[in-house]
Amino acid sequence: MNWIAIGTLSDIPRRGARCVATPQGKIAVFRTADDAVFAIEDHCPHKGGPLSQGIIHGAAVTCPLHNWVISLETGKALGADEGAVRTIPVKREGERLFIALEALASRAA
């Protein structure tokens, strides 16, 4: 996989998220309370809300527009709602964070 450096863990507040701009749109990178890191498309399966702006709890985020709850691990909507958002491979080496861009490229192709 083609790992691209996107910054360090401390760039993201605990229970917070930052965006990474890509040609295919924004990717939301999340850091949970226990420092796990996830990346998903910044686009709620419901009405396209920016998931990076939601409240993060456990390994899930609540969309700021209509309160859908999305699992950061699977990208699937939790509870009664149905839908999924694409997850992006992310890895952490010490403090540094990387996402796999090939996944993006293959989608673009």
Partner 1 sequence: MTEKLVIIGNGMAPGRMLEHLLEQAPGRYAVTIFNAEPRVNYDRIMLSPVLSGEKAYEEIIIHGDGWYIKHGITLYKGHKIVAIDRTAKTITSDHGVTEPYDKLVIATGSVPFIIPVPGHNLPGVLTYRDLDDVQAMMLAAQSRAKAVVIGGGLLGLEAAAGLNAQGMDVTVLHVMPTLMERQLDPAAGYLLQRAVEERGIKVITKANTQAITGNGKVEQVELADGTIIPATLVVMAVGIRPNAALAKDAGVAVNRGIVVDAGMRSNDPDIFALGECAEVGGMVYGLVAPLYEMARVAAHQLAGDETAAFVHMDTPTKLKVTGIDLFSLGDFADGDDRQEIVLRDASAGVYKRLVLKDDRIIGTVLYGETSDGAWFNDLKKKQTDISQMRDTLIFGQSYQGGTPLDPMAAVAALPDDAEICGCNGVCKGKITGAITGKGLTSLDDVRAHTKASASCGSCTGLVEKLMVLTLGDTYNPAAVQPMCSCTTFGHDEVRRLIKAKALKTIPAVMQELEWKTSCGCAKCRPALNYYLVCDWPDDYADDYQSRFINERVHANIQKDGTYSVVPRMWGGVTNAAELRAIADVVDKFEIPMVKVTGGQRIDMLGIRKEDLPAVWADLGQAGFVSGHAYAKGLRTVKTCVGSDWCRFGTQDSTGLGIRIEKFMWGSWTPAKVKMAVSGCPRNCAEATCKDVGVICVDSGYEIHFAGAAGLDIKGTEVLGLVRTEDEALEHIVALTQMYREQGRYLERIYKWAKRIGIAEVKRQIMDDGEKRRAYYERFVFSQKFAQVDPWSERVSGKDKHEFRPMASVGFAQAAE
Contacts with partner 1 by CB under 8 A lie at 4-7, 11-16, 18-24, 26, 29, 33-34, 47-50, 53-58, 62, 64-65, 67, 69, 99, 101, 104-105, 108
Task: Tell me the closest approach of the beta carbon of residue 3 to partner 1, in angstroms.
Answer: 11
Distance CA 13, CA 20 (A): 15
Task: Tell me the closest approach of the beta carbon of residue 75 to partner 1, in angstroms.
Answer: 18
**105 three-class SS:** helix
Q: Which residue has 């890191």 as its token pair?
A: 37
Our measurement of the distance from residue 98's CA atom to the centroid of its chain's CA atoms, rounded to an integer in Å, reads 12
Task: Tell me the closest approach of the beta carbon of residue 82 to partner 1, in angstroms.
Answer: 19
